[in-house]
Amino acid sequence: MSYIVGLNSGSSFDGVDAVLCKIDIAEDGHPTRPEFISALTVSWPIEMQPMIMKAFENELPLFEMTRVNYAAGAVYAEATNALLAQAGLAPEDVDVVGYDGQTIYQEPPDRHLIAEYSRSGNNSLVDRWLKGGYPCGFFVVESGVVAALTNITTVTQFRPVDHALCGSGAPLMQYLDFVSFRNHGPTVTLNIGGIANLQLANADRNKMMAFDTGPGNVMLDHVVKARTNMEYDRNGELAAKGQVIEPLLAELQSHSFFERKPPRSAWRLDFGSNYADDILKRFESSSTEDLLATLTMFTATSIERALVDFILPNTKVTEVVASGGGTRNTALLKCISQRLANHGLKVCTSDEYGLPAAYKEAIKFATLGFAAKRGLANNIPAASGASSFAVLGKLTMAPRLAKNTD
């Protein structure tokens, strides 16, 4: 078996998770379910936090963004080195580091525009992005820094190849779910990060689905930071004291995001700070507790709606396996569980399957990197809308592996 390292900094931007796992190749040629070994979380440096927040709002100049990109690589390298020191491992003990970087901007495919572009007969590859509605994204990630400062082969940026094949590039949890649950029968998983997403895992990858349901923690965290001195609502304690503001909930549920059909992805352009700030302004007289109760219900009903509309009509399941930082929000998980119980669904966490819920996103990147290094198809076209299978990820070799150095 091989040691692999995965790193994750999600849309919540609440720190970098680093995870160490063991993994192998099974008899069917696919990776085995990763075996969790250990993990840690590091905070983004204080001086970098406002810079990245500016980048989210398209307010960071390109020259500063360039330096932030390299500095972000150093953050990921420090997290990796700390994890290895904690485990007593050397760089040569680790097969690969996999991570995607901090997403700054993500633009989903415009399926209507893509169809029009296809019918137009325009054969320009360039115009796919300038006129054709193809998806794209930007990440601070610099893998060269990570490979150089850890001396471990590194695989990053798993989305661009899927984008170029007209896939949504998000979410990316479906490959880990295929690896982990392909022998378990159809399995629905729920990841609650800044954005929440559902995956339907199946041994037949042509029957799989993966798509964003709407916001997870991103709006909750924004309101807490704007109204209090806290970074997040610990255990959902504030939300649990509030009452749902029904007119606001109805307005949230009519968001244009819900007009999109899977495969679909959401980002801060949909449920980011501008959207949340507008709500804070218009509902200035509402209590923090009531706003958080409403946003908590919004996340829960968005997940319920996605399940009922897109998965349950065609697939018989009785369980939803939840992961992500949102599982630590007791009020949110209780709300989701109550909503899904109405449909005969039990909510459990991925811990029950050996995948710690708090670190599953980092585990997925370690697994994607392990597969990419071996040239294994690690996308799921049926889930993302990509036109073909592919190897996702850009590989940077460890300096210690350089040849002809004499």
Q: Which pLDDT band, with edges at 50, 70 and 90, does 406 fall under? A: confident
What was the pLDDT predicted at 267?
Answer: 76
- Binning the chain into helix, strand and coil, the percentages to the nearest 5 are 45, 20, 35
Q: Identify which of 265, 216, 258 has the alpha carbon closest to the alpha carbon of residue 383.
A: 265
| pLDDT digits 0-9 by tens, 223-235 | 999 999 898 999 9
Handedness of CA 370, 375, 376, 377 (dihedral sign): positive
Q: Which pLDDT band, with edges at 50, 70 and 90, does 151 fall under? A: very high
Overall average pLDDT of the 243-253 stretch: 98
| pLDDT digits 0-9 by tens, 291-329 | 999 999 999 999 999 999 999 999 999 999 999 999 999
What was the pLDDT predicted at 398?
Answer: 98
pLDDT at 34 over 90: yes
- The helices-and-strands tally (H runs, E runs) of the chain is 16, 13
pLDDT at 269 over 90: no
Share of the chain above pLDDT 90, in %: 94
Overall average pLDDT of the 247-262 stretch: 96
What was the pLDDT predicted at 11?
Answer: 72
pLDDT at 357 over 90: yes
pLDDT at 268 over 80: no
What was the pLDDT predicted at 14?
Answer: 79
What was the pLDDT predicted at 258?
Answer: 96
pLDDT at 159 over 80: yes
pLDDT at 95 over 80: yes
pLDDT at 252 over 80: yes
Share of the chain above pLDDT 70, in %: 100
| pLDDT digits 0-9 by tens, 186-207 | 999 999 999 999 999 999 999 9
Comparing 270 with 34, the larger pLDDT belongs to 34
CB contact at 8 A, 43 and 398? no
Residue ranges with strand state E in 216-318: none
Rounded CA separation 11/139 (Å) = 11
Overall average pLDDT of the 38-66 stretch: 96
Q: Which pLDDT band, with edges at 50, 70 and 90, does 80 fall under? A: very high
Half-sphere exposure of 116 (CA within 13 A, CB side): 9
pLDDT at 208 over 80: yes
pLDDT at 272 over 80: yes
Rounded CA separation 7/365 (Å) = 7
pLDDT at 277 over 80: yes
CB contact at 8 A, 75 and 15? no
